[in-house]
Amino acid sequence: MRIVDDAGHEVPPGAAGELTVRGKMLMSGYFDEPALTATALRDGWLHTGDIARLGSDGNYRICGRKKNIVIRGGYNIHPEEITEVLQMHPSVTEAVSFGRLDPIWGETLVALVVARDVAVSELHEYCAMHLEPRKLPTRIVIVPKLPRGRSGKVLLDQASTMVAAAEVSHSASAGGSTGAIEDRLLDVAARCFKQPRAALRLTSSPEDISGWDSLAHMEFVVAIEAEFGIELSARDIMGLTRLDKALPLVQR
């Protein structure tokens, strides 16, 4: 066995790459599928599609599947790692994390969880305790059960549809009162800046929100426009120096 990068070069111990194997017991190819065979078998090595690391103890550890990698702002994220963290929470029965297209980051990470007696905000805070900021899911949706096919695998297309439906439902039920708008604004900020909802105030600014950098600022802008159905001008965007500066923009 060996672990290689996208160019087929072996990576050093501890680095992540695709696990490849060879031996007498391996198949010689896929029946009547020359293109698929050429992709999977190269120079006698079977490319498994599994992302793995070689530990200092000499053991190989699977990180996830190559096809599932989420590329967020140029950074590779293995959604299986986020799923594992969520499933560590005592109130979570099962979970799945996956990527969705994002206009700013290219892709962003979301999660569906089956859980009881827990708030979404608590799950976000739990993730923040166990994951790097760039690996935090932008949205977590609690559902009665995960969509699965006959083989038991989670159907990611249906899972993505469920997240989108939850977003629409949240916007429709939030209402238009000042209090409801403030809550929606803080929810958006918590997702974009990867902060616990309880840690944010309308007076919060980049000075006291560690995740409020230039890229997160643009993500916040796009999220506000999507949440409230508005379009912000360059002047509006430059004026968002505190969370409460967004209130007159979404209420006008």
Domain count, the chain: 3
- Domain containing 57 equals 2-66
Q: pLDDT value at position 223?
A: 86
Same domain, 185 and 233: yes
Q: pLDDT value at position 173?
A: 56
- DSSP for residue 28: S
Q: pLDDT value at position 26?
A: 84
The domain that holds 164 is classified in CATH as: 3.30.300.30
Q: pLDDT value at position 165?
A: 86
Residue range 178-221, pLDDT digits in tens = 568 888 899 889 888 888 787 889 999 999 988 898 888 988 99
**How far is 119 from 141, CA to CA, in rounded Å?**
10
Same domain, 162 and 214: no
Same domain, 165 and 235: no
The domain that holds 186 is classified in CATH as: 1.10.1200.10
Same domain, 43 and 129: no
Residue ending a domain, among 66, 96, 118, is: 66
Angle (CA) 135-140-145 rounded to 5° is: 125
Same domain, 166 and 184: no
The total number of residues written for the chain in this structure: 252
Same domain, 159 and 188: no
Residues of the chain with pLDDT under 70: 169-179
Same domain, 237 and 154: no
Specify the 3-state DSSP secondary structure of 52.
Answer: strand
